[in-house]
Amino acid sequence: MTNWLRIFLILLTTLPAIGCQHERSNPQIVFSEFDTMPVGYQDDNPAPVRIAISSVLSKTDTIMHYRKIANYIGEKLHRPAILIQRKSYNEISMLMMNGGADIAILSTGAYITYRHVEGLEAIAMQERMGVPYYYGYVVVHRKNEISSIHDLRGKNVAFSDPTSYSGYIFVRKKLAELSETPEHFFGRYVFTYNHEDSLSAVINGVVDAAAVDSLVFERTKLKNPERIKDLKIIAKTEPIGTGPVVINSNLPDEEKRIIKESFITMHEQEIIKPAFQGLFIDRFVPFESRLYEGHL
């Protein structure tokens, strides 16, 4: 768990409960990036391809794997590659829409929110655990007498990101069906900007519930089942497409073809396989728009 989250969660548990029903946690925009020029870059080299990411997994554990993917795409384009990492999904979306990146791996929620914006073109999606879709879970500790979202009124909840479908949007939708909002329904809620940190918050009893990506939950179950043995799932979404790869639609057609082909065949490359294992990705597959319909 990141230090800032530890501090926030400690404060969360020590603040008075009186009058907290209408309080909320406002997301803070913090820039965390790795966008320096590659080693050996010269001014007369081709312009670098800029690849932006915001991972559902731990950023410190995944940055080296995304760097391998970025380098591979750069080699295929015969251009140096810059990997740009941001804290929130919305920052990645803004980068793409403002021309600050050429390629991005968006969150599902960010894509369905901004998919109709001119200049964004989805070309591929991630296949994980054999399928190109996942679910949103709401998880709680088994000892709690909580069996549905209805039971979370006045409780403390961890969300991952305001534009994460599994980590916030689907819960907000469920509340809207009850004519409720997160601000008025929950006691307090916090954005952790990381599904693993949200999971940690409920495991450690700092919050009553967390909305998380099923892929993160199932990955933890495979790698460290003891960690989540005392958790139960109280809500689950319909299947929805995984975070897609999007490109700037103004890129030259030949570059777009190379980028798409490179992502779709990347799993065949031995040098990339360790990165895919670290990111819990089987492969990238052609984009299917039907998996993103009807979720907003």
pLDDT tens, position by position, for the chain (296 residues)? 454 444 444 444 433 332 333 344 333 323 344 454 454 545 567 899 999 997 666 666 688 999 999 999 999 999 999 999 888 888 999 999 999 999 999 999 999 999 988 889 999 999 999 999 999 999 999 999 999 999 999 999 999 999 999 999 999 999 999 999 999 999 999 999 989 999 999 999 999 999 999 999 999 999 999 999 999 999 999 999 999 999 999 999 999 999 999 999 999 999 999 999 999 999 999 999 999 987 76
Query: Which H helix or E strand runs over 127?
Result: strand 120-127
Q: CATH code for 136-237?
A: 3.40.190.10
pLDDT at position 34 is: 46
Ordered by start, the domain boundaries in the chain are 49-130+242-292, 136-237
Report the SS3 class of residue 284: strand
- What is the pLDDT at residue 140? 98
Q: Which residues of 197-219 are buried (b: 16+ CB within 10 A; e: fewer)?
A: bbbbbbbeebbbbbbbbbbbbbb
Look at residue 44 in the predicted model and tell me its pLDDT: 64
Cα separation, 185 vs 194, whole angstroms: 23
pLDDT confidence of residue 16:
34
184 in Cβ contact with 21 (< 8 Å): yes
| pLDDT value of position 14 | 37
- Whether 49-130+242-292 and 136-237 share one fold: the answer is yes
Q: Please tell me the predicted confidence (pLDDT) of residue 4.
A: 44
One-letter amino acid at 144 equals N
CATH code, 49-130+242-292: 3.40.190.10
